[in-house]
Chain A
Amino acid sequence: MTERSRHTDPDVLAVAPPGTDRAVDGALPADPRELLVDDPGALVYESGLEIEARSQWAYARRRFMRHRLALGSLIVLIGIFVCGIFANVIAPYSYREIPYTDLAGVSVIDVNQVLSPPSTKHLFGTDSAGRDTFSRTLYGIRTSARVGILVGVLSTIIGTIIGGLAGFYGGWIDNLLMRLTDLFLTLPLLAVLLTASKFLGSSTPTKLALLLAALIWTTIARVVRGSFLSLREKEYVEAARAAGSGDVRIMLRHMLPNTIGPIVVAATLTIGVAILLEAVLSFLGFGIEPPTAALGALLNDGQDTGIEQWWLVTFPGLVIVLIVLCINFIGDGLRDALDPTQRRVRA
Chain B
Amino acid sequence: MTPSIPLSAASVPDPLLSIKDLVVEFSTEDGVVQAVDGVSYDLYPGETLGIVGESGSGKSVSTMSILGLIPQPPGRIVRGEAMFNGTDLLKLSKKALRHVRGNEVALVFQDPMTSLNPVLKIGHQIGEAIRTHHSELKEDAIKERVLDLLRVVGVPNPERRYDQYPHEFSGGMRQRAMIAMAISNSPSLLIADEPTTALDVTIQAQILEVLKKAQDETHAATILITHDLGLIAELADRVVVMYAGKVVELGDVNTIFASPRHPYTVGLMDSLPKIGVDEDWLRPIPGQPPSLINRPPGCPFHPRCFLSQGRAICREDEPPLRPVGDTKHLSACHFAEELEGRTGLVQPVGAEV
Q: Which residues of A contact B (CB under 8 A)?
A: 19-22, 24-25, 28, 32, 35, 40-41, 43-44, 46-52, 344-347
Contacts and interface: CB of A to CB of B under 8 A. Distances in A.
B312 to A, nearest CB: 13
A347 B290 contact: no
B296 A47 contact: yes
Interface string B70-99: 000110000000000000000000000000
A40 B281 contact: no
A193 B295 CA distance: 60
B286 A20 contact: yes
B105 to A, nearest CB: 27
B344 to A, nearest CB: 13
Contact of B306 (A20, A22, A41): A22
14 contacts: A22-B283, A22-B306, A28-B281, A35-B281, A44-B286, A46-B303, A48-B296, A49-B291, A49-B303, A50-B290, A51-B289, A344-B29, A347-B73, A347-B74
B302 interface: yes
B302 A19 contact: no
B286 A43 contact: yes
Interface residues of B, number: 25
Nearest to B282: A20
B291 A345 contact: no
A96 B283 CA distance: 81
B350 interface: no
Given A32-B281, A35-B281, A47-B296, A24 B288 contact: no
Nearest to B315: A47
A51 B290 CA distance: 6
A346 B29 contact: yes
B245 interface: no
A229 to B, nearest CB: 23
A197 B328 CA distance: 84
Contacts of B283: 20, 22
B303 A50 contact: yes
B74 A345 contact: yes
Contact of A49 (B73, B286, B300): B300
Contacts of B304: 44
A102 B64 CA distance: 86
B151 to A, nearest CB: 41
A52 B306 CA distance: 23
B341 interface: no
B287 interface: yes
B77 to A, nearest CB: 15
Contact of B27 (A28, A47, A345): A345
B280 interface: yes
Given A20-B283, A44-B304, A345-B29, 7 more contacts: A22-B283, A41-B288, A44-B286, A44-B288, A46-B303, A49-B291, A51-B291
Contacts of A347: 27, 73-74
Nearest to B298: A47
A184 to B, nearest CB: 33
A256 B190 CA distance: 49
B157 interface: no
Contact of B288 (A35, A46, A51, A344): A51
B273 interface: no
A74 B77 CA distance: 40
A25 B306 contact: yes
B303 A40 contact: no
B284 interface: yes
B28 interface: yes
Nearest to B270: A25
B299 to A, nearest CB: 10
Contact of A50 (B29, B74, B284, B288): B288
A19 to B, nearest CB: 7
Nearest to B290: A49
A20 B288 contact: no
Contact of A20 (B29, B284, B290): B284
B102 to A, nearest CB: 27
Nearest to A347: B73
B27 A44 contact: no
Interface in B282-336: 283-291, 295-296, 300, 302-304, 306, 315
A338 to B, nearest CB: 15
Given A21-B286, A35-B281, A47 B302 contact: yes
Nearest to A63: B29
Nearest to A51: B291
A47 B288 CA distance: 12
B74 to A, nearest CB: 5
Contact of B280 (A28, A49, A345): A28
Given A50-B290, A50-B291, A32 B300 contact: no
B281 A49 contact: no
Contacts of B315: 47
Contacts of A40: 286-287
A25 B291 CA distance: 25
A44 B289 CA distance: 10
Contacts of A22: 283, 285-286, 306
- The 3 closest A-B CB pairs, nearest first, are A49-B290, A44-B287, A47-B303
Contacts of B287: 40-41, 43-44, 50
